[in-house]
Amino acid sequence: MTVRPFRNGDASRCVEIIHACVPSMEGLNAAAVRFVLDESTPEDVISDVNEGLAYVDILDDQVVGLGMLVEGEIKRMYVDPAYQGRGIGSRIMSALLDAAREQGLRHVRVEASLNGISFYERQGFVQQELEIFRQGEVEFRYMHMLITLED
């Protein structure tokens, strides 16, 4: 397994991973799931990467996980369900937090899905506040979390 910077050619596989993960995320109602999936096209992923940086994990010449750091916040952190529990997310997170330190960031935030809270806690993030966001039929429940980076 190898963590490397995201390449535009990775976008389609990253979207496949996102589409495999989102339906089982806790804290999203059906309208929120549809919203996230609609906002997860290769073009959307590339646009997000252009706002910050991203890493992918490669296994057997295939992207199996991704994560982004955008303005001090972790975004689009996903691991293919078939590969979860193998340390892929931890390797990607380590690369993202190293990049945050290189950028001189003292804190990194994440809006964690409810079933992602324990993963982020294992990485050193601390729960801050549960938020419920509603817009029309869309409802998201997520945990604001924060990690303080040491030098």
- pTM (predicted TM-score): 0.93
Domain boundaries, the chain: 2-105
Please state whether beta strands 73-79 and 107-113 pair in parallel, antiparallel, or not at all (unpaired). Answer: parallel
For 19-42, how does the pLDDT look when each residue is reduced to its tens digit (9 = 90+)? 999 999 999 999 999 999 999 999
Split at pLDDT 50, 70, 90, the class of 55 is: very high
| Cβ 122 vs Cβ 89: under 8 Å | no
Angle between helices 11-21 and 42-51 (to 10 degrees): 100
| Residue 5 clears pLDDT 80, i.e. is over it | yes
CATH topology classification for 2-105: Aminopeptidase (3.40.630)
d(CA 25, CA 12): 20
For 62-120, how does the pLDDT look when each residue is reduced to its tens digit (9 = 90+)? 999 999 999 999 999 999 999 999 999 999 999 999 999 999 999 999 999 999 999 99
